[in-house]
Chain A
C-alpha cells in the first residue's frame, strides 16, 4: 500500500511503487487536471508540487512522494476563489487549447512563490521546461509579470499550507 497526500487529503493506493505519480493522480484519484504530454520530463504538462516545489509527475514514482505533500492544479484555488495566477491567466486570455496550462500555472505559482517579482530571465529559467504548442509564451510572460507587479489581486491559499 502506498500512502499519498494530495491537496491535503490522504489516500491509500494499492499500486506498483514504481508507477509514476501522474498516473496515480489521473487514473486512481481521478484528478485529471494534471496532463500527460511526453512521459520523459520534456514538456511540463504533468507539473505538480511536492512540498511546494514543482516536479514532473510523469517521471516521479509514487514511492518517492510518500510522506510528502502533493498539490495539483485542483488544489491551488480555494473556496474563496481562484489563485491569483489563475486569475491573471484569465485576464490575459492565455489559454488557447488549454492543454498545457495546468502545468504552466503550477510552474508559475512555484516561480512566484520563490521570486515574487520575477525578471524576464527568471521567467525564461523557470518556464522553459513547459511547452505550449499553441505558442502562448508572450501571454504567459505577461500574466506572470502582472502577478509579480501586483496588477492582479494576490492571495495564495497554499502559502499557509506549505509555509
Chain B
C-alpha cells in the first residue's frame, strides 16, 4: 500500500503506478460550535469517502472513521466494494490520516477526478442528512453510530458507483463498444457480446481522464452482492495473535514513560509538591507539574508509577471540596422543584393541553427517577505517546476524533496545526471517551518539557477518577389517566440535556405531552457515553411507561401496542420481540420478564429481559433483542454490536455507580467499579428486521433499552420498582417486598 501523501492526492488525482482515485465530498448542513475553529471559511467542507484502484487491481477504501471495535471499517468497505462490483478478496482498507484533505472542501474539490465536484443533485440530501447527524458526528469524529448511515450511504456507495461508471467509460473507449454492452463484475469489466474481459486496473489511469456522472446510479437492495453478507472482519486475525498495535503499544525510538496523578477534585491545581526523593528514585528522569496533574517521567512505566506514589502534592481549593453525590442530587431536585413553580424550563416537546388533562384525570401517577455518574472504563487505559522537537510534534494514540486532536494539541503547544502529526491507532474501546483529547494533550506537554519522546499511560485509577462522565441525572414524571384506562397526558421534567435532541421523547400516541428540561450544573466534567442522552432517558421513560401500564391495569406490552397504531416499524419490532421471547407465558415465582422499546440513532430496538431473583441476587437469564435499522450491511456485525451494547448497558444497570465524595470520585478500579463478567452474562438473541427504511446505526442503539427492560422484569419478579440505578444498591433479600428499599 503506497503512502498516502498530500502531494500525490492533489497534484495528480492518480496514485503511483497509474491507478484511479475517486473521492466524494459531503457538505455538512451546519457546524456545531465546538468544531467551528477547525473550519476557517464557509466553503470548507467534509470529504468522507475515497477509493483507489492500484495497478495490481487491488482496491483500497480509505475510510475516514476510526476503529474502536465496532467493525465499521469493514462495513464501509463492503458498501464501496458492492457498488463498484469489486471482488471482496481484492479489497482492503486504510484509515484516512488526520489531514485536512479529509476535511477541506477547497482542496478536495481539486482532487475529485478531473476537478468535478460531487453531483449537485445529491447535495440537498446530503445536507439534510448532515443536519441530522452533525449533533453526533463532525469531521472525522466517530460517534453517533454514524459511520454506516452517513459516511457509508452518502459517501462510500457513491464513490464506488462513480468509480465503476468511470471504468466502464474508459473500457468502452478503449474497446470501441457502447457503454451499454459493458458490465462490471468481480473487479473486471466484461463485454457481453464478445465475452472479452479485463481487470479494472487496465482502465484505471484512462478512467481518471473522464468526468464522473453527476448522478452515479446506485444499486437497489435486490442487486446487493456484498452488502447484507456477514463477511469476516479484516481486523480480527491481528487481534487474536497479539499483533494489533493499539495506542498503548506505540514504539518510538528512545521513548521514556510517564505516570500521572490528576487533581482529585476537578478543577484543582497542583500548587506545590514535595518529591520525597521521587526525583532520585530508580530510572526517574524528571517530575513535571502540569497544573491539573503531576507526572513522573522514567525509563519504564513501573519506575514512573512507583516514584509517583512517593510525591506529596498540595492541591488548590476550588470550593467543590464539600460536594458529594447526595448533595448534587438534592441540588437537581431543588432546581426541578423551583422550575416547576416558576415555569422556567425549556420545552422539548409540548402538545395538547396538559393542564386540562390533569384536571380531568381520574387518576394521576407520578414517580421520580435518578441515574448516577458513569465512567467509560474502556478496556485499554487512556494513553498517548508524544515527541516534540524543533517546532514539530508527533503524537501516537487512538482517537475518535483524530483531526480534532491534532488541532487541540497544536493549540496547547502554541503551534500551527501543520506542525502536528497525529498517528492514529486502533482503540481498545472508545464508547465516547476517546473523543476527548485531554490525555494526548498532556502527553505532548510532558514530552515538550522532558525533551524526549514520552509514552504517557494513565493507571486504571486515573481513568476512573478523571473521565468525562455520563452525567448524573434526575427526571420526574406525572401521567394523567382515565378510569377507562386511557393515558390522557405525559409530563416529564429533567435536568441536564445534551444530545441527541430527541432522546427524552417517546413514540407513544398520547395527545397531551409536556417534556421539559432545566440546567443544574455541577463541577463534574461530562462527555458522550455510549448512546449519550438515550442512556438515561431510555431507562426513565420506558420504566415509567410500565408504571403507567400498571396504574391502568394493562399488560405493558399490550399498552405499548395500543399506543403505536400509527407506527408500523415500532409495532413490528415490538411484536417480534414479544413473540421470540414468549411474552405472556406464565413464569415461576421469583422470575420476571420485562420489555422495552427505544428508537435511537435511526434504529428501533425492542428488548425482552428474563430475570430470576434468588435469595437477594438478581440474575439476568436471557435477553431477546430485535432491531430494525433499515438494512443490515453486515448482519453478524450488527448482532455483535447489539450484544456489545447490551452488556455495556447491563454493566451500568447492575453496577455502574460513580460516587462523588468530598468533591472527588470515590471509585478507582474494577473492584469497586464493577462490570459484567462471564458468569453474569445472559444469553442474548438478536433478530434483525431489514425494513428498507433509512439506514440507522448499530453501535449505540443496543444500550438504552436494557436497563428499563431489566427494571421492568425485576418489578415483575419482586414487586420492587427500580427508580434509581444501579440495581446493586437495592436489597432483594426479601424477595417480594412492596416498598422500595435503597441501601
Contact = CB atoms under 8 A, between A and B. Distances in A.
Contact of B675 (A89, A96, A131, A139): A131
B239 interface: yes
Contact of A132 (B71, B237, B379, B459): B379
A97 B647 contact: no
Contacts of B377: 133
Interface residues of B, number: 62
Contact of B648 (A45, A100, A133): A133
A123 B678 contact: yes
B300 A137 contact: no
Contacts of A95: 69, 233, 235-236, 239-240
Contact of B69 (A15, A30, A98, A105): A98
Given A73-B241, A102-B242, A136-B640, A36 B457 contact: yes
Given A97-B380, A139-B643, A39 B460 contact: yes
Interface centre among B235, B238, B244, B430 (most CB of A within 10 A): B244
Contacts of A16: 282, 302-303
A25 B613 CA distance: 44
B533 to A, nearest CB: 21
Given A33-B242, A137-B681, A131 B670 contact: yes
A4 interface: no
B240 A97 contact: no
A33 B241 contact: yes
A131 B239 CA distance: 16
Interface in A2-21: 15-16, 19-20
Nearest to B670: A42
A128 B248 CA distance: 24
Given A98-B239, A140-B678, A133 B429 contact: yes
Contacts of B426: 97-98
Contacts of B647: 132, 134-135, 137
Interface residues of A, number: 58
Given A16-B302, A38-B669, A133-B429, A138 B679 contact: no
B559 to A, nearest CB: 30
Given A74-B242, A98-B428, A37 B678 contact: no
A138 B683 contact: yes
Interface in B377-393: 377-381
B640 A139 contact: yes
Interface of B: 68-71, 232-233, 235-246, 248-249, 251, 257, 282, 300-303, 377-381, 426-431, 457, 459-460, 636, 640, 643-648, 650-651, 669-671, 675-679, 681, 683-684
Interface of A: 15-16, 19-20, 23, 27-28, 30-40, 42-43, 45, 72-74, 77, 82, 86, 89-90, 93-102, 105, 123-125, 127-141
12 contacts: A16-B303, A35-B380, A74-B241, A74-B242, A94-B240, A97-B430, A98-B426, A134-B644, A134-B648, A138-B643, A139-B643, A140-B678
